[in-house]
Structure formats: structure tokens, C-alpha cells
């Protein structure tokens, strides 16, 4: 049976075609799979489980049907939807995993991450990440009215675009926003695995690398801005495909 991996869908009301592509994927392919793993940034922004967005409700219903068909769905929070909580997960029927998490693919352990933890050269983002993952910060943020949280998310997106534009102008976008080799090697060594799967960087590829004399494989999932991206793992064979 095939195990499916996706990430970086960035679904929101402004891109209904991406939501429809995902719902078709849930209907046509996910049932019958061994499992579906969503490695973060399922949504463009998530400001709390009380946000009554139409894409959120449609996606929850679609995932719940997949789970009811017998295919478990697992989710790792991303940098855009790190506030997705247990309430929404219960509505969708999916299980939230820690970031990172180790799972077994047949007899091979695999390290799953969203991927932002590997981008240590982006020190500004790493500081923001540490701040917003603190339980006290999240408690204060979620206590605010929904409109205030939505305004914060919009401001954060604008700041992110400004930050990336500055990196483009400086010619450092590729270096700063991609993973750093030391971080990748450290996570391989820390978890004692030879397979890593993540998203976040929007640079889909299958990398073969040597870490401390061990042959390792790092698989990067693509985003869903122009098309879908899915990794299929079956009996040790891996295939990184696009969906349209």
C-alpha cells in the first residue's frame, strides 16, 4: 500500500482552485492509502480553530471522509498554521504529530518535519518562530478577538513579503531561505535515521547525501501554488509527482 506525503498547500479563500484540487485528491487518491501525512502549511494562515473560513470547513469534511474510509491522516504544524489546534484536528479526524516526528515506512524509520527548523541561516525568522511557539504567547494571542488575530496574520504576511523582497534585492534569497547543510546533518545524526522528508522551502527534490559516512536521503515536497505536489512511498520505492 502507498503512503502519501504533502505539504505547503497554503489554502485560503483567495485560491479556490487549490482547495478544489486538494478535495479531489482526498476523494480520488487518499482513500485506500496506508496513510496520508500533511507536513504543514495546509492553510495560508490559521489564527485559531474558531475561524469560520469556508476552506477550513470544506477541508475538515474532506479529511474526515478519508479517515472514515480507513486511511489515517497525520498533520505536522507549519509556519503558517502553527496555531491549528486539537479542536480542528478532532473535527477533521486527523492526528497532530510533533515537529519533528519519526515514523516507520515499512521497516525504515523516516524523520518528518515541516522544514523551517532546518533554515537556520534565516536568523530573523528563527527568532520569530521561537517567540510564537511559546505557550504564553499563543495563549495571549488566542485570547484576542478574531478580527485582531486576522489583522495580525495579514500584517505578518506583508512583513514576510517585504523580508523576501529585501533578500531578493540583496541576492541572498536562495541561501537564507533554504536549509543549511549543518542543520540537516545535525538532525540526521540526532535521530539516527537515513531518510528525511520535509516541505517549507518549496524546492521539490530528492537529495542523496553522505552524513558522517552514511548514505542518507532527503526528500523535499513541493508547494501547491501552481500545481499540487505529492510524494508516494510504496514498498521502499519513492516517487515525487505533481498534480494538476
pLDDT tens digit sequence for 22-66 = 999 999 999 999 999 999 999 999 999 998 888 999 999 999 999
Query: Do residues 6 and 38 make contact, with C-beta atoms less than 8 angstroms apart?
Result: yes
**pLDDT above 70 covers what percent of the chain?**
97
161: confidence class by pLDDT, cuts 50, 70, 90:
confident
pLDDT score, position 63: 98
175: confidence class by pLDDT, cuts 50, 70, 90:
low
Mean pLDDT of the residues in the chain: 93
133: confidence class by pLDDT, cuts 50, 70, 90:
very high
pLDDT score, position 162: 80
176: confidence class by pLDDT, cuts 50, 70, 90:
low
**Which superfamily does 3-243 belong to?**
Metallo-dependent phosphatases (3.60.21.10)
Query: Do residues 181 and 192 make contact, with C-beta atoms less than 8 angstroms apart?
Result: no
C-alpha cell at 112: 518528518
Tell me the backbone φ, ψ of residue 84, rounded to 5 degrees: -65, 125
pLDDT score, position 160: 76
Which residue is associated with the grid cell 523516516? 110
222: confidence class by pLDDT, cuts 50, 70, 90:
very high
Q: How far apart are CA 218 and CA 197, in angstroms?
A: 6
159: confidence class by pLDDT, cuts 50, 70, 90:
confident
201 pLDDT more than 80: yes
166: confidence class by pLDDT, cuts 50, 70, 90:
confident
Name beta bridge partners: 231: 5, 240
Amino acid at each position: 500500500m502507498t503512503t502519501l506525503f504533502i505539504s505547503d498547500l497554503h489554502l485560503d479563500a483567495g485560491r479556490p482552485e487549490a482547495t478544489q484540487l486538494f478535495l479531489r485528491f482526498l476523494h480520488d487518491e487518499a482513500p485506500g492509502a496506508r496513510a496520508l501525512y500533511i507536513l504543514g502549511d495546509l492553510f495560508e494562515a490559521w489564527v485559531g480553530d474558531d475561524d469560520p473560513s469556508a476552506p477550513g470547513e470544506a477541508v475538515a469534511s474532506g479529511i474526515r471522509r478519508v479517515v472514515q474510509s480507513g486511511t489515517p491522516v497525520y498533520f505536522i504544524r507549519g509556519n503558517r498554521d502553527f496555531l491549528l489546534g486539537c479542536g480542528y484536528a478532532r473535527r477533521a479526524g486527523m492526528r497532530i504529530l510533533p515537529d519533528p516526528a519519526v515514523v516507520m515506512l515499512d521497516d525504515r524509520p523516516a524523520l518528518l518535519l515541516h522544514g523551517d527548523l532546518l533554515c537556520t541561516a534565516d536568523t530573523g525568522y528563527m527568532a520569530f518562530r521561537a517567540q510564537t511557539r511559546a505557550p504564553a504567547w499563543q495563549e495571549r494571542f488566542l485570547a484576542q478577538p478574531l478580527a485582531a488575530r486576522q489583522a495580525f496574520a495579514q500584517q505578518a504576511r506583508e512583513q514576510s513579503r517585504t523580508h523576501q523582497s529585501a533578500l531578493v534585492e540583496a541576492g541572498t534569497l536562495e541561501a537564507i531561505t533554504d536549509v543549511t547543510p549543518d542543520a540537516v546533518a545535525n538532525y540526521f545524526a540526532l535521530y539516527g535515521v537515513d531518510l528525511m522528508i520535509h516541505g517549507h522551502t518549496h524546492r521539490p527534490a530528492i537529495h542523496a547525501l553522505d552524513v558522517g559516512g552514511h548514505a542518507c536521503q532527503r526528500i523535499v515536497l513541493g508547494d501547491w501554488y501552481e500545481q499540487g505536489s505529492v510524494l508516494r512511498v510504496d514498498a521502499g520505492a519513492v516517487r515525487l509527482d505533481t498534480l494538476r
